[in-house]
């Protein structure tokens, strides 16, 4: 819904995005023309903030020249599993450790995470590995628990449209990793990010994690088109998740490389010390050697696209 002229004039940033401007000022890009006529969001737009936003996660900068590697198991399963994953992630060049404590599974009978116990294990894994931690929140209780332990809160694909949760997560002041809804349009995705920013939190990283299409040889279809489209339209960092985007271990590395070539600021990779034994998403998880090899490939690719990736772990 377009904001009315009253709210536009009371907008502290005083940004005009509607048909008040002459048509000659309008950008030719189709999507931005659509926005112009229906300005349901503006804080996320590069038009209101031309410089790239750098999101700081406990000292790690996301969205700068250095590419960001987030890695870890889909779910935190045990102290041994998580500490091994954290050590492999750090040694292989990850900047952030990601592990799920609260898992939203398609089947109600699947492993749904260790909850608060997993958050304590993540804190311990941060101490051991030195990597800041990222974990998903699913409801108000998990937001409060995760905010006490984690350095960045993830909103998953199933909750991108949960505006109450977006506001609750935003209110913690923690940086937010916002995954695209599996059937969300670009505008719905940007509006979800706008909810977080409108709640006073400008530390948002957008994550393309694959969308539903007719294509059934992969779990989802990683929509790389949206990466440069988002980078043009928005100042927020954009990463991809080729693990969920493909659902196939053999396709993760090529699609991670393609993501960086398309201009992504980093990748989120599921990596498990023993993927065959994983309780969640093992079929799309890299093993530690595959992870290490992929990060060094990305480090070789980085300068070609004007980025850096220093593999610090070795
Ligand atoms: C995950 O990151 O493990 C996850 C469940 O992701 P998504 O919400 O993208 O399915
Ligand atoms: Mn997963």
CA of residue 156 to ligand 2 center, whole Å: 10
Residue 268, in any domain of the structure: yes
* Domain encompassing residue 25: 1-38
Q: What is the pLDDT of residues 141-163, one digit of tens each?
A: 999 999 999 999 999 999 999 99
Do 87 and 197 belong to one domain?
A: yes
Average pLDDT over residues 20-28: 43
Do 150 and 217 belong to one domain?
A: yes
In this structure, how many other beta carbons lie within 10 angstroms of the beta carbon of residue 241?
Answer: 28
Residue 314, in any domain of the structure: no
Residue 255, in any domain of the structure: yes
Average pLDDT over residues 40-50: 94
Average pLDDT over residues 177-194: 98
Contact indicator for 166, 200 with CB cutoff of 8 Å: no
Residue 313, in any domain of the structure: no
Do 34 and 64 belong to one domain?
A: no
Residue 242 CA to residue 40 CA, distance in Å, equals: 29
Residue 240, in any domain of the structure: yes
Do 28 and 60 belong to one domain?
A: no
Tokens in use for 268?
Answer: 């989120």
Residue 219 CA to residue 141 CA, distance in Å, equals: 30
pLDDT at 40: 87
**Would you say the CB of residue 162 lies under 6 angstroms from ligand 1?**
no
Do 172 and 300 belong to one domain?
A: yes
Average pLDDT over residues 72-100: 98
Contact indicator for 68, 266 with CB cutoff of 8 Å: yes
DSSP 289: H
- Angle, vertex CA 203, rays to CA 200 and CA 209, nearest 5: 120
Do 135 and 253 belong to one domain?
A: yes
Q: Atom 10 of ligand 1 has which residue's CA nearest to it? A: 157
Q: Atom 5 of ligand 1 has which residue's CA nearest to it? A: 156
pLDDT at 27: 47
Contact indicator for 267, 298 with CB cutoff of 8 Å: yes
Task: Tell me: pLDDT of 22 over 60.
Answer: no
**Would you say the CB of residue 245 lies under 6 angstroms from ligand 1?**
no
Q: Atom 9 of ligand 1 has which residue's CA nearest to it? A: 157
pLDDT at 311: 81
Q: Ligand 1 atom closest to Cα of 210?
A: 9
**Would you say the CB of residue 100 lies under 6 angstroms from ligand 1?**
yes
């Amino acid at each position: 819904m377009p904001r009315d002229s009253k709210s536009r004039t009371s907008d502290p940033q005083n940004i005009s995005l509607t048909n008040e401007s002459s048509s000659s000022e309008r950008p030719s890009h189709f999507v931005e023309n659509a926005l112009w006529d229906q300005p349901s969001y503006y804080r996320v737009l590069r038009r209101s903030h031309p410089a790239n936003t750098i999101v700081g996660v406990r000292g790690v900068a996301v969205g700068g020249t250095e590419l960001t590697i987030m890695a870890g198991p889909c779910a935190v399963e045990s102290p041994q599993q998580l500490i091994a994953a954290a050590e492999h992630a750090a040694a292989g060049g990850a900047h952030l450790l990601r592990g799920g404590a609260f898992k939203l599974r398609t089947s109600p009978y699947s492993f749904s995470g260790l909850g608060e116990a997993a958050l304590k294990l993540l804190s311990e894994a941060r101490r051991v590995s030195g990597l800041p931690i990222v974990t998903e929140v699913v409801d108000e209780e998990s937001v409060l628990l995760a905010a006490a332990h984690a350095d960045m809160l993830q909103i998953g694909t199933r909750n991108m449209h949960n505006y109450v949760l977006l506001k609750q997560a935003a209110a913690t002041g923690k940086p937010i990793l916002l995954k695209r809804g599996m059937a969300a349009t670009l505008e719905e995705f940007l509006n979800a990010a706008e909810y977080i920013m409108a709640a006073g939190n400008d530390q948002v990283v957008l994550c393309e994690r694959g969308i539903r299409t007719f294509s059934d040889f992969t779990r989802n279809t990683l929509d790389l088109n949206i990466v440069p489209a988002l980078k043009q339209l928005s100042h927020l960092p954009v990463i991809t998740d080729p693990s969920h985007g493909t659902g196939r271990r053999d396709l993760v590395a090529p699609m991670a490389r393609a993501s960086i070539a398309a201009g992504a600021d980093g990748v989120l990779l599921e990596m498990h010390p023993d993927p065959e034994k994983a309780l969640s998403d093992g079929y799309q998880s890299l093993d530690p050697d595959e992870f290490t090899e992929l990060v060094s490939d990305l480090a070789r690719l980085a300068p070609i696209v004007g980025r850096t990736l220093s593999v610090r772990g070795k």
